[in-house]
């Protein structure tokens, strides 16, 4: 994704377009902590780092006392106090390395971690390679996340919460491997505490790991050939996650077919096999619990595997009890609610290899009384919302008539100032798209422009979420995109990203 550019109305929100801070090369220092300086200070003073911004006490675990934990039992230990030979990574980072802890409902985060392990380049961005328990060890580690348009560098100490010497949150299946626990601790620090990671959407962490383009599809409400799109996404090294509906009972209810209700999973692969002369499109899924699998068709013990070639069995079939399983695309769509795909480039959206996508990112804000006009029904104030012009170019026939007719993706993310994730109340947000007549050259379109005018496109509905997006088609011409909250005078910052299908051919 290219560096962000600014709309002329929103320069007040960023000091300069040439500012390199907040990039992967120059990430922002989270809570003003400088990893290099803190590490150097530890060496100079011959001491191990203790993080006063995320202290090893109950305030970092559950300040609101929402988890069912006896905080008095918890002891914070460094890995060297838990095992004799701690390692950051043992024989490479894998989706099978860890299991979710019993006290924290952060399957959405761990499902994203499972996807992250497939992409070493992205993994190295999130977890810089210049750290270990060997040389230069000082009890300090750092991780990088993309948050609301900026990369941040997050420093932690390596003291981890335990009960009776055992890690209480995510833990590795290899006793002396600690990258999952340290990654979880760094993300907990960003969220405010471990408890602030309880419950969430898999898309949140996927975006925070990549800073890329995110698309979401409801599996039962789309005409898109999702298996083919997922296949392209996998080849483009995308991160994918999915989730199930909560159902009529409480979350985490295990259905007779092995699927967990109200739960997040990782999509770890797509594959096509031939069974009895017919092609079958399969999806591979991972339960972040590290156990609990689908028991239906194409599951580990399914007799259907006997109908495919030995080569396909060798490539796909596994009898390991590790939480990972195969199922047909039809069963996948029937049992899961939606799929989230996050990739560094949106090029996978188009089945044609000849064309690319361009992107522009804007930073803005809704300010009470000035630029927070609410939804289109608020006729007197809607026009005060930030406005963004976009031009849709005409594409050649081959590009326009491909398997992917959509030519624009709009992504809107809101940002609040409160550090503690559980205390943030997201507004209902959305965006509306209007045609701009060729003769209109207004810098800011007034209220009368919107009277009796209906959007040609809009987000599906106003949604109470951190992030909303829509993938759709517009005819060539100029358009106005207006992001807004549901109600007037709701104050928040936002990031608006616009991805356009380009007629220029991709570079080899």
Q: What is the DSSP string of 261-287?
A: TT-EEEEEEEEEEEETTEEEEEEEEE-
Model confidence over 384-442: pLDDT tens digits?
999 999 999 887 665 555 566 788 999 999 988 778 887 788 999 999 999 998 888 77
**Which string of b and e fits 78-115 if b means at least 16 CB within 10 Å?**
bbeebeeebbbbbeebebbbbbbbebbbbbbbbbbbbb
Query: Which tokens belong to 50?
Result: 């203790």
Decide if pLDDT at 179 tops 60: yes
CA 425, chain centre distance (Å) = 19
SS3 347: helix
In this prediction, residue 400 carries a pLDDT of 53
Distances (CA, A) of 268 to 198, 210, 233, 283: 23, 17, 11, 8
Model confidence over 335-353: pLDDT tens digits?
999 999 999 888 888 776 6
Higher-scoring residue by pLDDT: 351, 447: 447
Is residue 508 part of the annotated active site? The answer reads no
Q: What is the mean pLDDT of residues 163-184?
A: 91
Q: What is the mean pLDDT of residues 444-459?
A: 89
500 CB-contact burial (10 Å; exposed 0-12 / middle 13-18 / buried 19+):
buried
Structure confidence at residue 311 as a pLDDT band (50, 70, 90): confident
Of 492, 357, 359, 361, give the one whose Cα is nearest residue 6: 361
Cα–Cα distance measured from residue 288 to residue 266, given in angstroms and rounded to the nearest whole number: 7
Among 168-172, 332-336, 381-385, 416-420, the minimum mean pLDDT is found in 416-420
DSSP code for 259: P
Q: Which is it for the CA torsion 127, 132, 135, 136, positive or negative?
A: positive
On whether the CB atoms of residues 291 and 262 are closer than 8 A, the answer is no
Of 396, 316, 398, 387, give the one whose Cα is nearest residue 351: 398
Average pLDDT of the residues of the chain: 87
Q: Where in the chain is the domain with CATH 3.90.70.10?
A: 213-342
On whether the CB atoms of residues 4 and 148 are closer than 8 A, the answer is no
Structure confidence at residue 453 as a pLDDT band (50, 70, 90): confident
Phi-psi group of 193: left, alpha or beta (phi > 0 → left; psi -120 to 50 → alpha; rest → beta): beta
Catalytic, out of 107, 242, 342, 361? 107
Of 40, 20, 36, 17, give the one whose Cα is nearest residue 28: 20
Cα–Cα distance measured from residue 217 to residue 350, given in angstroms and rounded to the nearest whole number: 15
Decide if pLDDT at 6 tops 70: no
Is residue 467 part of the annotated active site? The answer reads no
Model confidence over 83-133: pLDDT tens digits?
999 999 888 888 888 888 778 888 899 999 999 998 899 999 999 988 999
Q: Which CATH number fits domain 213-342: 3.30.460.10, 3.40.50.150, 3.90.70.10, 3.90.190.20?
A: 3.90.70.10
Q: Where in the chain is the domain with CATH 2.60.120.380?
A: 350-505
Cα–Cα distance measured from residue 416 to residue 467, given in angstroms and rounded to the nearest whole number: 12
Structure confidence at residue 240 as a pLDDT band (50, 70, 90): very high
Cα–Cα distance measured from residue 291 to residue 474, given in angstroms and rounded to the nearest whole number: 45
Of 256, 211, 206, 291, give the one whose Cα is nearest residue 4: 211
Model confidence over 38-80: pLDDT tens digits?
999 999 999 999 999 999 999 999 988 888 888 889 999 999 9
Catalytic, out of 142, 198, 263, 467? 263
Is residue 201 part of the annotated active site? The answer reads no
User: Is domain 350-505 classified as CATH 2.60.120.380?
Assistant: yes
Catalytic, out of 191, 201, 242, 287? 287
């Amino acid at each position: 994704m290219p560096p962000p550019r600014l709309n002329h109305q929103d320069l007040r929100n960023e000091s300069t377009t040439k500012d390199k801070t907040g990039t992967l090369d120059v990430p922002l220092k989270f809570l003003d902590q400088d990893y290099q300086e803190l590490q150097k200070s530890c060496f100079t003073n011959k001491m191990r780092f203790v993080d006063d911004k995320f202290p090893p006490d109950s305030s970092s675990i559950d300040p609101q006392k929402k988890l069912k934990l006896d905080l008095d039992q918890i002891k914070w230990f460094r890995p060297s106090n838990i095992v004799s030979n701690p390692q950051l990574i043992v024989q490479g980072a894998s989706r099978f390395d860890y299991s979710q802890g019993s006290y924290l409902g952060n399957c959405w985060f761990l499902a994203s971690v499972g996807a992250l392990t497939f992409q070493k380049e992205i993994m190295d961005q999130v977890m810089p390679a210049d750290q270990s328990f060997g040389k230069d060890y000082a009890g300090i580690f750092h991780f990088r996340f993309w948050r609301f348009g900026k990369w941040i560098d997050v420093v932690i100490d390596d003291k981890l919460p335990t009960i009776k010497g055992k890690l209480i949150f995510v833990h590795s299946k290899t006793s002396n491997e600690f990258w999952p626990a340290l990654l979880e601790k760094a993300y907990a620090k960003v969220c405010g505490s471990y408890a602030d990671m309880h419950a969430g959407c898999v898309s949140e962490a996927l975006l925070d790991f990549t800073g890329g383009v995110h698309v979401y599809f409801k599996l039962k409400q789309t005409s898109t050939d999702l298996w083919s799109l997922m296949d392209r996404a996998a080849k483009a090294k995308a991160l994918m996650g999915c989730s199930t509906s909560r159902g009529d009972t409480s979350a985490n209810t295990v259905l007779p077919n092995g699927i967990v209700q109200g739960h997040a999973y990782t999509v770890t692969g797509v594959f096509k096999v031939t069974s009895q002369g017919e092609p079958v499109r399969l999806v591979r899924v991972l339960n972040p619990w590290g156990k609990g699998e689908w028991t239906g068709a194409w599951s580990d013990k399914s007799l259907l595997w006997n109908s495919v070639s030995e080569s396909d069995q060798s490539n796909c079939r596994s009898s390991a009890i590790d939480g990972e399983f195969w199922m047909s695309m039809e069963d996948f769509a029937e049992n899961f609610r939606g799929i989230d795909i996050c990739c560094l480039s949106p090029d996978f959206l188009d089945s044609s290899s000849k064309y690319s996508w361009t992107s522009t990112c804007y930073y803005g804000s809704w300010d009470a009384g000035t630029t927070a006009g609410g939804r289109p029904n608020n006729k007197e104030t809607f026009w005060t919302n930030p406005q963004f012009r976009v031009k849709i170019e005409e594409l050649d026939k081959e590009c326009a008539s491909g398997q992917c007719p959509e030519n624009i993706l709009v992504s809107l993310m809101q940002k609040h100032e409160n550090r503690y994730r559980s205390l943030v109340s997201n507004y209902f947000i959305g965006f509306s798209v209007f045609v701009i007549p060729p003769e209109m050259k207004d810098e800011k379109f007034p209220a009368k422009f919107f009277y009796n005018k209906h959007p040609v496109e809009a987000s599906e509905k106003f949604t109470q979420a951190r992030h909303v997006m829509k993938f759709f088609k517009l005819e060539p011409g100029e358009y106005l995109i207006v992001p807004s909250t549901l109600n007037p005078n709701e104050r928040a910052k936002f990031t608006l990203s616009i991805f356009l299908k380009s007629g220029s051919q991709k570079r080899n």
